[in-house]
Every structure is written in C-alpha cells, then in structure tokens.
Chains A and B, each alone.
Chain A
Amino acid sequence: MKRFWIPLIGLALFFLEPVFGMFSPLTIGGDYYYVVPRFLIMFLIFVSIFHNTKRAMLYGLFFGLLYDVFFIDIIGLYSFLYPALCVAAGYIVKNIERNLIVATIIALTLTVVFEFVLYQFFALIGLTSISIGTFLNMRLLPSMIANSLFLIVLGWAFRSVIVRRTFEQNKSLTLSRFYNQ
C-alpha cells in the first residue's frame, strides 16, 4: 500500500485541478482574474527533488498524456512539458542541499517558466491574442499567488510523504541486499 501513496496523491491532484478551475475567473471589483491551479506539476517537482527524477518523469508523462487527451486535444504538449520540468528540477538540485525552502522556490520558479512557455505556445498557434501585460496581470500573478499559498500550506505534507517513501525504499533495498548476500 505504501508504494501507491505518491501516484494516488498525483491522481487526486489531477482531479482536483479542474474542480478549483471551475471557480476561475474570479471577479474582484469588476476586474477578472484567471487562477490556474498547478498542483500536480508542483507535486511532481517535489517528487523529482526528494525521491527520484526518473520516477517523476514517468508520472509526468502519464498525467501529461491524460491532461492532453482530456482537456486540450493537442497531444504532446503537457506530456512533454511535465517530464521536462521534472528533469529540470532534478538537474538544478544536483549540487545543492535539498530542503523544503529550496524545493518550494524551485517548484514556483519552474511553474512560472511553465506558464510562460504555454502562453508562448498558445499565442503561436493563434488560440490567444492577449498582450503580455494582460497575461502578467490577469493570469500569471493571481495564479502564482494561489499556487504559492497552496504550496506553503501543503508543501511540508508532500515532503514528508515523499521522504517516507524514499526511506522505505532504501530500507527495503538494503534489506534485500543483506538477504541476497
């Protein structure tokens, strides 16, 4: 059962994103703000940092493919970007200490990069025509505020689940080596 915790949390976050997406756009004082939940990719970046980059890539590929087919009907967009961000996260933390603050900063920075790449892509294929200023004010800023709140509240829980899983895995690895000898 313990080994299924990470994919199960991933699945729950995948299904929760559109539920939170239904509240968007928010109207505050006559202005509209789009809040885009990015819970899953932030969780996968945490998995990549604290557990295993390759595993995170696989999850990213799987959930990215689901996202592509179910929501946007362009196969290859999320299923490329999710694993790519996991690789980037794994590469960045190679030589620095892995703690909660570092992981949170990396996850949020990569989410900003992610939003930006998506904006460029959708502008390129002509599905959006909003200016960069509108994008920053109406979409990026409110989304990042919501996502950082989410990560600040739940980041430590993610970390403890992932670290416990890594610990279990290492223990069983050591044990199996011990028995094999």
Chain B
Amino acid sequence: MFHFFSNKRLILLLLGVILLVALISFSLRDRDNVSAPEQMIKDVVGAGQMVFSVPAQFITGMFDNIDSLLNTYEENKYLKSRLEEFASVQAEVTDLRSENTELKTLVDKEADLRSYNPIQAQVVARNPDQWEEKMIINKGTDDGVSENMAVMTAQGLIGKVTLTTPNTATVELISTQNPNYRVSAMVIGGKKNVFGLIEGYDVERRELLLKRIDADIKLEKGQQVTSSGLGGIFPKGIVIGEITEITIDEFGLTQLVYVKPAADFTLLNHVVIADRVLPEVDGEDNGVIKDDES
C-alpha cells in the first residue's frame, strides 16, 4: 500500500485531482457556450454517430412498419368511424382559414406569432447516461438552427435547442429537471386563453407542471395547453399537452396544473425545429428576463 502511494505518484494524483476540479467547475460555469475545439469534436463525433444510428433507425422503422401492418384492421375500423366527422371539420377549417386571411389583409397584418419555417432534422444520438434529457440532432447553424428554438414532433412540443455547432445541435427535452427551463404556455378551449409558464417536470407522474396561473381563473380537466409565443422565441400554438389535474401551489396564491405531454419522448427519430418568422426577443424561452417584479 505504501509502495503504491510513493511520493511522486502522490504528487501526480493531487495535481490530477486539482486539475479535475478546476476543469469541472470551469465547464459547469458556462455550459451554454461551446469553444472551437469542442465544436470540432462534436461535429466529428456526430458524423461518426450518424454511421451507426442511421441503420439502427432503419431497422427500428422496419419493425414499426410490421407492427402497424398487424394493426391495420383495427385501425381502419377506427379511422372509418372518424372519417365522416373529419369531412365536416375540414370544411370548417378551410372556411375559418380563408376568413382569417381575409381579416388579416383587412388589418394589414402579414406575419403573426404562429408562423414559422420548419427545419426537418434527424436524431443522431440520445445521451446514453440519461441523467439529463438531451439528444443530438443532425442540423446546426449551417442550416439555420440557433439556440432556444422550439423542437417538436408531429404530436407536439418536445424541447428546445440548447447548444449549436455548425453541423449538430443539442436539444434539451421538456421532461428535464433543469430549474431554469421555462416555456411560456397558454390554456386554450375556455372563454379566454389563460397564460402561464411550464416550469418543471414531475418524474413520478411523468407530467409537466404549469405554474403562475391566477387562483381565480377556472380551468377544467382535458383542456389543451399550447405554447403562447409570448416567451420571445417559440412560435404560438405548438401543442404541449392536456390538463390532467388542477391544484393550488405551495403558497396558495396561484394554481399548479399538471399537464400530460402530447408528444412521446421515447424512440424519437425525426423532429422539426421551428424557426419563428417574427423577430426573436429575450424572454422566458431563453431565460433572459428583466427583473421587473418590484
């Protein structure tokens, strides 16, 4: 034992530990910026990762296809029952849409918070140790992706971009435990839209927490929650989920609402990044909030 820790080795070990602590604290402090060598490593590893994840996704896609083939009969029966309903909804949507554009031209309003340019991307890797809910996609600043943009699937919002390099981007999912992660949201379906903030995630229930809603406002189970576009970067109207429970928060002043996410966070393959048409401003979406609570 004493031979193992000879003087030289002990000094080396101590130096190593000091270096380690310094490195960890340094990289913990600014995790939002990536230095040039880090970017290069990320791009190279990302390219290598594609070689492995593309065939893997092809195979899982094949299994999914077989699975859906087996369910065809059941699905078809269900879809047929929904088809008639669909026709009338479709007619209503076209009617409302044309009316909406007419009204917009009437008031000279071209772009609104809803419009965005979609950027299609493929998931290259999911953080395998899963302590943080992160994944890496194959589009970066070269394709117009920038930090804090909303990321979604066909089902709904799944997260936002936290880091970008020329060819890859890191996406933090909304199921994260990060306390600084906020999305400004609204509850639709009532008489008026109700605005709040998605702040935090209940791991045991696997549901999002919607906070800062006035205690007087009456909400109902089953109402839909979407992004409000008021956070500065996300477009308006991306589906987040559905209300499952309404309670009062720990101070008794505002409501705490549990929201079941519409999107499934497992086995993500293709995602869409929403690049908002209207100029982006600081707000809850990028965590830069002016202190105006006094």
Contacts and interface: CB of A to CB of B under 8 A. Distances in A.
Interface of A: 11-12, 15-25, 27, 32, 34, 36-37, 66, 68-77, 80, 91, 118-119, 122, 125-130, 134, 139
A71 B134 contact: yes
The CB with the most chain A CB atoms within 10 A, among B4, B20, B130, is that of: B130
Given A27-B266, A70-B41, A134-B204, A21 B125 contact: yes
Contact of A18 (B26, B125, B132, B163): B125
Contacts of B42: 69-70
Given A18-B49, A127-B131, A127-B132, 12 more contacts: A15-B52, A21-B127, A24-B130, A37-B128, A66-B45, A70-B42, A70-B45, A72-B129, A72-B132, A76-B19, A80-B20, A130-B203
Contacts of A139: 130
Given A21-B130, A118-B131, A127-B131, A73 B56 contact: no
B79 to A, nearest CB: 25
Nearest to B168: A70
B136 A70 contact: yes
Nearest to A65: B41
Nearest to A78: B129
B128 A18 contact: yes
Nearest to A66: B45
A19 B53 contact: yes
Contacts of B48: 11, 15
Interface residues of B, number: 46
A19 B166 CA distance: 22
Nearest to A21: B128
Contact of B52 (A19, A34, A127): A19
Contacts, number: 114
Contacts of A127: 131-132, 177-178
Nearest to A83: B16
B107 interface: no
Interface of B is mostly: mixed
Nearest to A12: B52
A122 B130 CA distance: 11
Contact of B129 (A15, A71, A91, A125): A71
Contacts of A25: 130, 266
A75 B129 contact: no
Nearest to B59: A19
Contacts of A129: 177, 203
B267 interface: yes
Nearest to B204: A134
21 contacts: A11-B48, A16-B52, A18-B128, A19-B125, A20-B128, A21-B126, A22-B125, A23-B266, A24-B126, A69-B41, A70-B49, A73-B27, A74-B24, A75-B26, A76-B19, A76-B20, A76-B24, A76-B27, A118-B129, A122-B131, A129-B177
B203 A22 contact: no
A125 B128 contact: no
B290 interface: no
B127 A71 contact: yes
Contacts of A71: 125, 127-129, 134, 136
A40 B26 CA distance: 26
A21 B134 CA distance: 11
B46 interface: yes
A17 B179 CA distance: 28
B24 A77 contact: yes
Interface in B25-44: 26-28, 31, 34, 38, 41-42
